[in-house]
Amino acid sequence: MTTQERRARIETLFDRAIDLSPGERTRWLEDECADDSDLHAEVRELLDAHERATGILDVEATRIAASLSSDADDAPPIERAGPYRLTVEIGRGGMGRVYLGYRDDAQFEQRVAVKVLHHDYSDAVVARFVAERQILASLDHPNIARLLDGGLTADGRPYCVMEFVDGEPLDVYCDRARLSIDDRLRLFCRVAEAVHHAHRNLVVHRDLKPSNILVTRRGEPKLLDFGIAKLLDPDALPNAAPTTLTGVRPMTPEYASPEQVLGRPVTTAVDVHALGLILYEILAGQRPQRRDGEPLVHLERRIVQEQPPPPSVAVVIAASAPSAAGPRAPGADTVAQVRGATAAQLHRKLSGDLDRIVLMALRKEPERRYPSAQGLADDVRRYLDGRPVRARGDSLGYRARKFTVRHRWSVAAAASVMIALSAYAATSTVQAGRIRRALEQARLEAEKTEQVTAFTMALFEMGDRLDARGDSITVRELLDLAAERAERFRTQPAAMSQMLDVIGRVHQRRGDYASAGPFLERALEVRRGHFGERHVVTAESMSHLASLLAARGQYAAAESLYRQALDAQRAVLGGEHRQIARTLHDLAIQLQLQGRLAESAALYAEVRAMQRRVFDADHPEIAAVTSSLGLLRFQADDLDEAESLQRDALQMRRRLLGGEHPDVAMSLGLLGAVLRRKGDVVAAESLYRQAISIGRRTLGDGHPDLAHHLNGLALVMRSAGRYAAADSLYRRVLEDRRRALGPEHPSIASTMYQLGALHHERGEFTAAESLLVGALEMRRRRLGASHPLVAEVEEELVRLYEGSGRPELARLLARRPEAP
Amino acid sequence: MPRAHEGDRAGEVTRLLRAARTGDRDAFDALFTRVYAELRAVAARQLRGERDGGALRPTELVNELYLKLAGSPAGEWEDRAHFYGVAARAMRQLLVDLARRRDAVKRGGGWIMTTLGDGTASTDAGLEEVLALEDALAGLDERQRQIVEYRFYGGMPEQEIARVLGTSTRTVQREWTKARAWIYRALYPDSGTAGLAPAPAAPRAGSA
């Protein structure tokens, strides 16, 4: 065994061992390594190292860099600030440190919190600091920690002295004391009223958050740090050095208001917004502006643009998708439990008035929030008293008007916009309102994909045009507009190719293969020129064009292009990658369509194995491979296995994609095919009818994929002996397919063959013969003479000739396959 | 004019990123040099007493650098992801250089084992550990080494790492767990199970 193999062996055992409990692990490992004590020892050691390594590499690399480059290590602790003796450090924040202090010269020992800043400020700034302090000191309210004093330390650092509050942060207190929702609301009202008191004295807090609101043992809330943020604001203190790389104002992003993010003037409405966030958090147990390891700019964009889900919805989302709420977010049951309710009760309690109150406080425009903190507190009290609240949801009209404005600076991907639009491409005329919804959907998509192109802006302009027209526009018009725009991006090949690609794919999704071609071809050409042959983006274009070729029935050409894509992807991405798995799957389908079933089966095995490693759990791609594999088993006449695979795929797709999705329709149809072949025509008919109705709604009449389902239903009708119904369905399928796919296509040949066989069965030899001969010729041309589907037609024709008294023709045909 | 200059530079960075993505070694080096210089400058700023407020998390730092160098907040996802890779590499190099420079100064307190709370604890840098970690990384296989770079030096979230490597977050987590165990074993060879087979040195990837 080479070192490498041995290492791989150790790692495999390690992977399996850590999934076991420590008790099972020992036994299992001994069994596994019974004949190799060295191996046992090495795995054991690695497992021990793993147990000990939990804290390892948890520190951030930046801190180490800072620490290594800092010669003036930690400043020595300060022992005195004015008349205050400082003892232990009780906190450390972005701007300085907080110490527990005692006043030396007082008759009685008064405990205070002393905040010492670490910046050197100019004289003018210090003067300003002192003046502001006077105002803050005048704040006298039982729920506001008083600012007692302030000044400069001996070495010239500004400090301020505050009442020392011994308590817990608001959120911690609420949960630990297991306060009910009503008790939380009562406590919140007192906080909001304290904030209002400060506002009436012209002091804005600017940095309200649960950790700045302590609750004492007696249940009294105390607000800390009132006005401190302003003292530290670089705008207010123009000579202060910026504290971050970009010089942003000190604020806690998770509790910031849109106007703070935008650097707009700060008013009391900032505190109302922060109170809304705090209320949200103590009610729903989640931070609406939580930052989950994402870049700051993302969070800031969310703060400015996105309304958080209503608290009642947030508790349900937490229940259904724990990962979406962040790994550390408590589960819905825990959240409900510490509020003395079940998750369902909590959802009901928050729905309606409380949702509206919170969302009104959180509105993006300051002037549309509660006019004051008191107004918010009053509405909460109205709720507690069972009186009607003032908060109202945004009207539909308002949301529609805001839409275009928001999108003017939304960061969105052109691709997602267009793909979302294509979902609405079912009908040829789309109401402007539906396009708006599509764009809304696109915006959500775009947040994920994170791409900005000028194209997006152009699309939003189009959205404006839609508004101006007010009535309707066809998707086709929209695509033509998009194409026109794309031409203006000649100097930006990356952006232009992206647009061309998207436009082509939307045409293809709509079933308009003829229009799709030139766009996808051109996109590939531009990308080849700009990115080169071996590039993932070029490979993507190859795959897209290949998929169109496959849809047009040009399987061999599709195969060759997929292989090129695969080469490029392997060169850039290495051996294993989601994109590679996908291309392999596409390639396997091409082989399958060409009748090369054994080759295709081998590829499927490879894809399945890779998928297990590169996907977390269920994934639409896994469902897609399951479904293709089911089709392969169907072709091999292994109907039980085919049925089980199709059922798995259908179930997975329903779960992942919802009921209304073309892929779900496809799975229903494929399952229908298996059941028909098994002889269960009743079940098969019902499945096809479901597939057709979903297909109609999601794809639109005349779409080639819908024709699959209609064709399937025709087969069922024929099996059930309902020839007239089958006949009319086949004719319709032929018509639809010829319109969408042109005169010649493998699927047209299939329908002709089946319709021919139907006529044959009914003794209509002339009609049957012409259809079967047409099908045979088309299949020979498109699939090659040795394809199994060619033999199928030939056999039918042989029987026809024999049955209609023309044995010489039958013999002639029967000999042909043996010809070299 | 300064605007135009900025724009050129941003465009240049994007161009370098794309070239580096396709395997252009010179482009990678040029990019690396720039990112490294910026990182160094940040470290120097921390030195001037802005440390308490300014200890950016790696994720923030990389994003700020990207904004500064590439000039736009988003750009193509692949560009950003690649930038992460370059920045992580630069950060790793910077740590090594800083540690070597201060090699004479011996200080206690292992940062590697320090689990930090909400920015409240201070960090003592164990420069020996920085250098020891380099040795340990050399013993990892390529994918594990990449994951450690992205995650530890670059602060890249697991999901993004999975996306870059085209694999599942589960695989990333599993490889990270193993990498950490190997690193631990290499850093603390004596702390393992005494009495069993003599602890070998950090395993080397590959036999060739």
Tokens of A431: 């109401």
CA distance A201 to A138: 8
Phi then psi for residue A339, to 5 deg, are -105, 10
- Average pLDDT over chain A reads 78
Question: Taking a contact as any Cβ pair under 8 Å apart, which residues of chain A between 372 and 431 contact chain B?
Answer: 411
Q: Is 0.85 exceeded by the ipTM?
A: no
- Whether pLDDT at B47 is above 90: no
Point out the least confidently predicted range of A126-130, A694-698, B199-203: B199-203
User: Once rounded to an integer, what is the mean pLDDT over residues B136-144?
Assistant: 87
Counting beta carbons within 10 angstroms of the beta carbon of residue A590, is it exposed (0 to 12), middle (13 to 18) or buried (19 or more)?
Answer: buried
Half-sphere exposure of A593 (CA within 13 A, CB side): 25
Cβ-Cβ pairs closer than 8 A, A with B, add up to: 236
- Whether pLDDT at B137 is above 50: yes
B113 interfacial to chain A (CB closer than 8 Å): yes
A318 contacts A332 by C-beta, under 8 angstroms: yes
Q: How confident is the model at residue A345 (pLDDT cuts 50, 70, 90)?
A: confident
A50 contacts A57 by C-beta, under 8 angstroms: no
The kind and range of the H/E element at A114 are strand A111-117
- Whether pLDDT at A121 is above 60: no
Q: How far is B122 from chain A (nearest CA, A)?
A: 8
Q: How far is A573 from chain B (nearest CA, A)?
A: 8
User: Would the CB atoms of B42 and A245 count as touching at under 8 Å?
Assistant: yes
Provide the whole-model pTM: 0.49
Question: Taking a contact as any Cβ pair under 8 Å apart, which residues of chain A between 678 and 697 contact chain B?
Answer: none
User: Once rounded to an integer, what is the mean pLDDT over residues B17-29?
Assistant: 74
Query: Of all residues in chain B, what percent carry a pLDDT higher than 70?
Result: 58
Which of B22, B50, B57 is closest, CB to CB, to A534? B22
- Looking at beta carbons, which residues of chain B come within 8 Å of A68? 43, 95, 98-99, 102, 125, 127, 130
Per the model's pLDDT, the better-predicted residue between B112 and A620 turns out to be: A620
User: Would the CB atoms of B91 and A532 count as touching at under 8 Å?
Assistant: no
pLDDT (0 to 100) of residue A186:
96
User: Once rounded to an integer, what is the mean pLDDT over residues A253-268?
Assistant: 82
CA distance A105 to B32: 59
- Whether pLDDT at A132 is above 60: yes
- Whether pLDDT at A182 is above 50: yes
CA distance A453 to B16: 19
Best of B40, B68, B141, B168 to mutate (most A CBs within 10 Å, chain A): B168
CA distance A537 to A533: 9
A52 contacts A40 by C-beta, under 8 angstroms: no
Q: How confident is the model at residue A754 (pLDDT cuts 50, 70, 90)?
A: very high
Q: How far is A519 from chain B (nearest CA, A)?
A: 21
Model pLDDT for residues A196-206, shown as the tens digit of each residue: 998 888 788 88
User: Would the CB atoms of A3 and B204 count as touching at under 8 Å?
Assistant: yes
pLDDT (0 to 100) of residue A80:
81
pLDDT (0 to 100) of residue B94:
81
Q: Work out the number of other CB atoms within 10 angstroms of the CB of residue A178.
A: 11
The kind and range of the H/E element at A89 are strand A84-92
- Whether pLDDT at A726 is above 70: yes
For A410-447, letters b (16+ CB in 10 Å) and e give bbbbbbbbbbbbbbbbbeeebebebbbbbbebbbebbb
Per the model's pLDDT, the better-predicted residue between B52 and B87 turns out to be: B87
- Whether pLDDT at A784 is above 80: yes
Model pLDDT for residues A199-231, shown as the tens digit of each residue: 888 788 888 988 889 998 889 999 987 766 565
Q: How confident is the model at residue A467 (pLDDT cuts 50, 70, 90)?
A: very low
Which of A58, A68, A244 is closest, CB to CB, to B116? A58
Our measurement of the distance from residue A740's CA atom to the centroid of its chain's CA atoms, rounded to an integer in Å, reads 33
- Whether pLDDT at A377 is above 90: yes
Per the model's pLDDT, the better-predicted residue between A459 and A169 turns out to be: A169
pLDDT (0 to 100) of residue A502:
77
For B156, nearest residue in chain A (alpha carbons): A293
User: Would the CB atoms of B167 and A296 count as touching at under 8 Å?
Assistant: no
Q: How confident is the model at residue A567 (pLDDT cuts 50, 70, 90)?
A: very high
A207 is catalytic: yes
Question: Taking a contact as any Cβ pair under 8 Å apart, which residues of chain B between 150 and 189 contact chain A?
Answer: 152-155, 157, 165-171, 174, 177-178, 180-185, 187-188
B94 contacts B35 by C-beta, under 8 angstroms: no
- Looking at beta carbons, which residues of chain B come within 8 Å of A573? 166
User: Once rounded to an integer, what is the mean pLDDT over residues A399-422?
Assistant: 33
- Whether pLDDT at A517 is above 90: yes
Strands A158-163 and A147-152: antiparallel
Q: How confident is the model at residue A635 (pLDDT cuts 50, 70, 90)?
A: confident
- Whether pLDDT at A791 is above 80: yes
User: Once rounded to an integer, what is the mean pLDDT over residues A292-301?
Assistant: 67
User: Once rounded to an integer, what is the mean pLDDT over residues A297-323?
Assistant: 69
Model pLDDT for residues A570-585, shown as the tens digit of each residue: 988 877 888 899 999 9
- Whether pLDDT at A724 is above 80: yes
CA distance A288 to A296: 15
A535 contacts B22 by C-beta, under 8 angstroms: yes
Counting beta carbons within 10 angstroms of the beta carbon of residue A89, is it exposed (0 to 12), middle (13 to 18) or buried (19 or more)?
Answer: middle
pLDDT (0 to 100) of residue A395:
45
Point out the least confidently predicted range of A144-158, A460-474, A550-564: A460-474
Give the range with max mean pLDDT: A33-47, A104-118, A434-448, A483-497. A33-47
- Whether pLDDT at A810 is above 60: yes
Point out the least confidently predicted range of A12-16, A463-467, A571-575: A463-467
- Whether pLDDT at B201 is above 60: no
Model pLDDT for residues A519-566, shown as the tens digit of each residue: 999 999 998 998 888 888 899 899 999 999 998 889 999 999 999 999
pLDDT (0 to 100) of residue A236:
45
User: Once rounded to an integer, what is the mean pLDDT over residues A8-31?
Assistant: 88
Tokens of A412: 């969105």
Reduced to 3 states, what is the DSSP secondary structure of residue B63? helix
Per the model's pLDDT, the better-predicted residue between A317 and A248 turns out to be: A317
Query: Of all residues in chain A, what percent carry a pLDDT higher than 70?
Result: 75
Please name the residue ranges forming H helices in A658-745.
662-678, 681-698, 704-719, 723-741
Tokens of A212: 């700045």
User: Once rounded to an integer, what is the mean pLDDT over residues B110-121?
Assistant: 29
Query: Of all residues in chain A, what percent carry a pLDDT higher than 90?
Result: 33
Per the model's pLDDT, the better-predicted residue between A280 and A259 turns out to be: A280
User: Once rounded to an integer, what is the mean pLDDT over residues A181-192?
Assistant: 96
pLDDT (0 to 100) of residue A372:
93
Q: How confident is the model at residue B31 (pLDDT cuts 50, 70, 90)?
A: confident
- Whether pLDDT at A242 is above 90: no
Q: How confident is the model at residue A152 (pLDDT cuts 50, 70, 90)?
A: confident
Which of A3, A4, A65 is closest, CB to CB, to B98? A65
pLDDT (0 to 100) of residue A290:
80
User: Once rounded to an integer, what is the mean pLDDT over residues A48-74?
Assistant: 65
- Average pLDDT over chain B reads 67
CA distance B156 to B151: 5
Q: How confident is the model at residue A446 (pLDDT cuts 50, 70, 90)?
A: very low
Counting beta carbons within 10 angstroms of the beta carbon of residue A469, is it exposed (0 to 12), middle (13 to 18) or buried (19 or more)?
Answer: exposed
- Whether pLDDT at A454 is above 50: no
User: Once rounded to an integer, what is the mean pLDDT over residues A11-37?
Assistant: 87
pLDDT (0 to 100) of residue A304:
81
Tokens of A721: 């002996």
User: Once rounded to an integer, what is the mean pLDDT over residues A288-297?
Assistant: 69
pLDDT (0 to 100) of residue A341:
85
Counting beta carbons within 10 angstroms of the beta carbon of residue A796, is it exposed (0 to 12), middle (13 to 18) or buried (19 or more)?
Answer: buried
A612 interfacial to chain B (CB closer than 8 Å): no
Which residue among A149, A171, A175, A207 is the active-site one? A207
Point out the least confidently predicted range of A598-612, A617-631, B54-68: B54-68
Q: How confident is the model at residue A361 (pLDDT cuts 50, 70, 90)?
A: very high
B32 interfacial to chain A (CB closer than 8 Å): no
